Amino acid sequence: MKKICFLIQEWNHPASRYRVLQYIPYLKELQIGVKVALFPDSFCQWMKLFSELGDYHTVFIQKKRLWRWQLWYLRRKRIRIIYDFDDAVMFKSPVNGGGQSFKRRRTFARMVRYSDQVIAGNQYLKAQALPYNKNITIIPTAIDTSRYTIKDYRRHKKNVTVGWIGSKSSLPFLKELTPAFDHLAGQYKSVELKIICNDFFECNTMPVIKKIWALEDENSDLQDVDIGLAPLPNHEWTKGKCATKLLQYLSVGIPVVCSPVGVHNEIIKEGVNGLFAASTQEWIEKINLLLHDKALRERMGLEGRKTVDSSYSLKANAPKFINTITGNYSCD
C-alpha cells in the first residue's frame, strides 16, 4: 500500500485547508496511507520525522522551501518529493517592500529542482517553475461547494452590503479603496462595508461592519454580502495569487468586483460573472452598477457559481489531485 506524508504550515492556514486537508478523505477512501504533520521546527524534530518515513512512498511539501540537507536526506532514502505552491514565493510581498529576492529565487529553484513532481496553483506559477523542472501539474485552489449555500435573493434586505473576506496581510489592498467607499457612502445611505478578517480599519463616511473570521461562520457571513470585493495591486507577487476569496464569493452566488490581475483574468468574464476595476473611479463605477441592479447581481452571482462548479470545485479537481499524488499524472 502506498503511504504519503503531507507536511503543512498550520492546521487552519487557508493553503493547508484548501490545498491539502480537504483532499485527505478522498485518499483514505482509496486505502492510501496518509500522515499529515506540521513542519518540524528544530533539527531534532526533523530527524525524528525522517526516522518515521521508512516505509513512506511520497512526501508532499506544501509551499515551504526546504534546506539542501533536508532534500538530500529525502533523495537518499528514495522518497518521492512533491512540491505544491500557490503563491509567488520567489518574490517579496508588496506589503513587505516587494520586488526581486535573490535568496527567495535561489531557494525556490533548489526546491523545484529536487522535486520529482511540482503542483502549481495557476499558469503564472507554472511558468516560474518551468526553468527548473518540467514535471509540473496545474491544480487550482479548489472550493468545497458543499460547504456553501447559494444566496437567497428573495430575502429582503434594508442595506446593500459590499464585503471582503481575507487575512490581515491582504487588508492593506482593501484599505486603498477607502476613497471609493466614502464616495459611495456619500451618494447612498443604504450601503455598508463588511470586513471579515482578524483586523479592521475605519472609513470616514462608509459604515463598516467588523466580523472576526471563523471557519464555522464563513458561509453565513458571506450570505450577508451582496457584492464581493477582490482588490490586488499589479505586482509580480500578486500575479501568483490563487484567488481564494474570489472563489468563495462565487461559491455563494454573489457577484464580484476585482482587479484585473493574475488568475482573476482567467476566472472572471467581464459582465458575465463579475466586473473588473483598475482605478478608484472604476471601482466606484463598477460597484455603483451593481448597487443599482439587484437582478444583475443575481445573474452574475449564479453564473459565478457555475464557474466554480465546472472548474474550481473540490469535486472537479479531486481526480486530478489523486492522480498526481499517486503518480498517475500527466503534465499540463
Over residues 64-102, the pLDDT tens digits come to 999 999 999 999 999 999 999 999 999 987 766 666 788
Give the Å distances, CA to CA, from 300 to 44, 228, 235, 247, 279: 53, 11, 27, 13, 21
pLDDT band (50, 70, 90) for residue 328: low
> Which percentage of the chain shows pLDDT scores above 90?
89
Fold of 145-312: Rossmann fold (3.40.50)
Q: Is 70 exceeded by the pLDDT of residue 236?
A: yes
Q: Which pLDDT does position 69 carry in this prediction? A: 96
Q: Which residues, 6 or more positions from 201, have their beta carbon under 8 angstroms from its beta carbon?
A: 171, 175, 178, 195, 208
* The pTM of the whole model exceeds 0.95: no
Is 80 exceeded by the pLDDT of residue 330?
no
Same fold, 3-142+314-326 and 145-312: yes
| Per-residue model confidence as pLDDT tens digits over 274-298 | 999 999 999 999 999 999 999 999 9
Of 163, 137, 138, 165, residue with least CA distance to 244 = 165
What does the alpha-carbon distance between residue 307 and residue 273 come to, in Å, rounded to a whole number?
A: 8
Residues 94, 235 contacting (CB under 8 angstroms): yes
- Side-chain half-sphere CA neighbours of 296 within 13 A: 16
Cβ within 8 Å of residue 5, ≥6 positions away:
35, 36, 37, 53, 56, 58, 59, 60
For residues 251, 257, 260, 266, the Cα torsion angle rounded to the nearest 10 degrees is 20
Tally of CA atoms within 13 A in the half-sphere of 145 that contains its CB:
22
Judge contact between 177 and 231, C-beta under 8 A: yes
User: CATH fold of 3-142+314-326, please?
Assistant: Rossmann fold (3.40.50)
Domain ranges of the chain: 3-142+314-326, 145-312
